[in-house]
Structure 1
């Protein structure tokens, strides 16, 4: 089928636009990833589709299309942390601290099944500047419990679209679907959302690939929290909301940065303050709950301390 038909379907305007069927979405994504259409056609389609607003069914089909191209490497007993692929400017990354926290935790809690964390990264994607998980992982040592997957290795076809996406300079469908593609075949997945409508979208898109998917109100589109927040999960077909307050765990943190540099971010985790360490532990407590290693945050926090 001509790719122009897909551009017309999403880019004609409010009266002429229509939703794409699953087979059409899959075909369009395959044509894009395999470079069987021009860069101009790809750009026109992605922007028009975003303007039309992708439906939940279209997003789910797009995820299904990408799965065909992923090189999977199984990490047992793992939770995937779905970080955004655009930049972080206002907070350091906490995950460099997770390795030692998990090592100490599992040495003291032999009754708990080990928890591995999986993080993916790539070159900076639009629509904002800043640091990426790839920047950090290229600067730290690898460990036993935190595993990094570089997209240029597990999904090169999507990584190769980086230049085009930079030229567009706008969010596209790929920004929405790329955070939880599960290259490690993890049992559990957690990602972040700023806007509540996206909670149901993320759960609908990814739930068939995990035992459970949790959506967290995290910092800068990442599954890391630096302040009071909430998370959502689907229970018996209903999306429930659970709130938490850092003060309940003795954490008071109000530090913010502006255009944090790689050097600053690395120094913070190389010589962490007590509050940064508490924050990192609290995030691990959340992950232990999400991965069903403990029953609640209070139990996780007690064991971690």
Structure 2
């Protein structure tokens, strides 16, 4: 195997670069995860590939390559929440509140099919600092409705590249493809994007692994909504955009934090105020819609309250 040919394909320059074939992407990613190439070669390839800009077809192949290494454990009746693996600095995580909200919801709405939430996490990844899902989950005791998958256990090969990724200090293809690898074999998946081109990328990359994938415009690389936004899904080959406004549901939230600490984030969810609770319920309402447990946000909100 001559890994240098992949570096040359993506790192020669505008006139010499070419897109990689699916088999080449899978071979390159596999060589990286199997530690068959040097750290210098890996770094050169990842940076050059990012600079060239990965095509949708290359990203789809990269996801396939990663999924060959995933250790799966099925969580029935679940939706995967695709959080980014870099840090959160401006908002607390809301998912610690979801378990009790869902428990109460299903006790009162026995006609609705159960829904569990799957979240993945790992050590902090580039490109920014902050707190992670792993840190928060390890500080709490969540055992029902919210399931956490530690990448050290379900995809150790990628987790082991963390030191190299920090040494590079830049986003790479892994930042794009790591959020929805579905270790819980969930039926539905949702992640977040700010720019329309990435909506198309995420839907293309992940749709074959779920009944349906949705992309929501949310905060800090996670499918947690803190302000007005929208979500996208594919219907008959077309991307449909659905907007929402928090004020329509009586929610007025305008808090922001600067470099929120783990202790501050935990205190917020251990002693939540009314607005945080309403915000968490709104996010649950979105997930109930995404997983087709209810027909509309209005129905979900009414049932939750």
TM-score computed with the length of structure 1 as normaliser: 1.00
In the other structure, the counterpart of 1:235 is 235
Alignment of 1:146 onto 2:134: no
Corresponding residue for residue 36 of structure 2: 36
Hey, what's the Cα distance between the residues in 2 that align with 1:17 and 1:243?
39
- List aligned pairs for 1:109-124, cutoff 5 A: 109-124=109-124
CA RMSD of aligned residues (A): 0.4
Distance 1:218 1:2 in 2: 41
* Post-superposition offset of 1:142: 2.0
Once the two structures are TM-superposed, the CA of residue 195 in structure 1 deviates from its matched residue by 1.1
Q: Is this contact kept in 1: 2:88–2:130, CA < 8 A?
A: yes
Q: Deviation of residue 207 (structure 1)?
A: 0.0
2:281 paired residue number: 281
* Total equivalences in the alignment: 305
Trace 1:22-101 onto structure 2 (pairs within 5 A): 22-101=22-101
What secondary structure, in the 3-state scheme, does the structure 1 residue paired with 2:15 have? coil
Structure 1: which 5+ residue stretches go unaligned?
Answer: none
Q: Measure, in 2, the Cα distance between the counterparts of 1:124 and 1:33.
A: 18
Given that 2:56 and 2:204 are in contact with CA atoms closer than 8 Å, whether structure 1 keeps it comes out as yes
Q: Which residue of 2 aligns with 1:194?
A: 194
For 2:194 and 2:129, how far apart are their aligned partners in 1? 18
Alpha-carbon shift at residue 194 of structure 1 (Å):
1.3
Judge conservation of contact 2:94–2:269 (CA < 8 Å) in 1: yes
Give distance in 2, aligned partners of 1:47 and 1:219: 26
Structure 2 CA distance for aligned equivalents of residues 156 and 262 of structure 1: 25
Match of 1:221, SS?
coil
Q: Which secondary structure state, in structure 2, belongs to the residue aligned with residue 220 of structure 1?
A: coil
Q: Distance in 2 between matches of 1:16 and 1:93?
A: 44
SS of 2:220's partner is helix
For residues 257-305 of structure 1, give each alpha carbon's deviation from its aligned partner in whole angstroms, at most 9, with x where no partner exists: 0000000000000000100000000000000000000000000000000
Q: CA deviation at 1:211?
A: 0.2
Q: 1:215 and 2:212 equivalent?
A: no
Distance 1:39 1:190 in 2: 33
Q: Normalising to structure 2: TM-score of the pair?
A: 1.00
Distance in 2, matches of 1:144 and 1:247, equals: 30
Q: SS state of the match for residue 166, structure 2? A: helix
Instruction: Flag structure 2 segments of 5+ consecutive residues without an equivalent.
Output: none
